[in-house]
Amino acid sequence: MGKIAFLFSGQGAQYTGMGRQLCEVSGAAKEVFRLADSIRPGTSAQCFEASKEELSQTVNTQPCVYCVDLAAAEALRESGVSVDAAAGFSLGEIAALTFSGVFSPEDGFSFVCTRGRLMDEAARKTGGGMAAVLKLTNEKVGELCSHYSRIYPVNYNCPGQVSVAGDKEELDAFCKEAASEGARIVPLAVSGAFHSPFMAEAGDRLRETVQSVALHAPKIPVYSDYTAVPYGADPETASDNIVKQVTNPVRWQKILENMRANGFDTFVEAGPGKVLSGLVKKTLPGVRIYHVEDAETLNQAVTDLR
**Tens-digit pLDDT profile for residues 185-241:** 999 878 899 999 999 999 999 999 999 999 999 999 999 999 999 999 999 999 999
pLDDT at position 1: 63
Return the number of other C-beta atoms located less than 10 Å from residue 107's C-beta.
18
Task: Quickly state the pLDDT bin for 54 (edges 50, 70, 90).
Answer: very high
User: What are the φ/ψ torsions at residue 35 (nearest 5 degrees)?
Assistant: -65, -45
Helices 58-78, 27-39: crossing angle, 10 deg rounding: 150
pTM given for the model: 0.95
Among 220, 269, 209, 271, residue whose Cα is nearest residue 67? 271
Enzyme catalytic residues: 90, 195
- Residue 175 Cα distances to 146, 231, 279, angstroms: 13, 35, 22
Give the domains, in start order, of the chain with CATH numbers: 3-124+197-305 (3.40.366.10), 128-188 (3.30.70.250)
DSSP 230: B
- Residue 176 Cα distances to 55, 129, 154, 187, 293, angstroms: 30, 15, 18, 12, 37
pLDDT at position 280: 98
Return the number of other C-beta atoms located less than 10 Å from residue 286's C-beta.
7
User: What are the φ/ψ torsions at residue 252 (nearest 5 degrees)?
Assistant: -65, -45
pLDDT tens digits, 104-146: 999 999 999 999 999 999 999 998 999 999 999 999 999 999 9
- Residue 63 Cα distances to 43, 46, 66, 107, angstroms: 8, 10, 5, 12
Percent of the residues in the chain that have a pLDDT greater than 90, as a whole number: 96
Angle at 162 between CA 158 and CA 168, to 5 degrees: 160
Angle at 304 between CA 302 and CA 306, to 5 degrees: 55
Return the number of other C-beta atoms located less than 10 Å from residue 106's C-beta.
14
pLDDT at position 2: 84
Instruction: Give the up-direction half-sphere exposure of residue 264: CA atoms within 13 A in the CB hemisphere.
Output: 24
DSSP H helical segments within the chain, as ranges?
20-25, 27-39, 43-49, 52-55, 58-78, 92-99, 105-126, 138-145, 168-180, 200-210, 235-247, 252-261, 275-283, 295-305
pLDDT at position 69: 98
**CB 25 within 8 Å of CB 78:** no
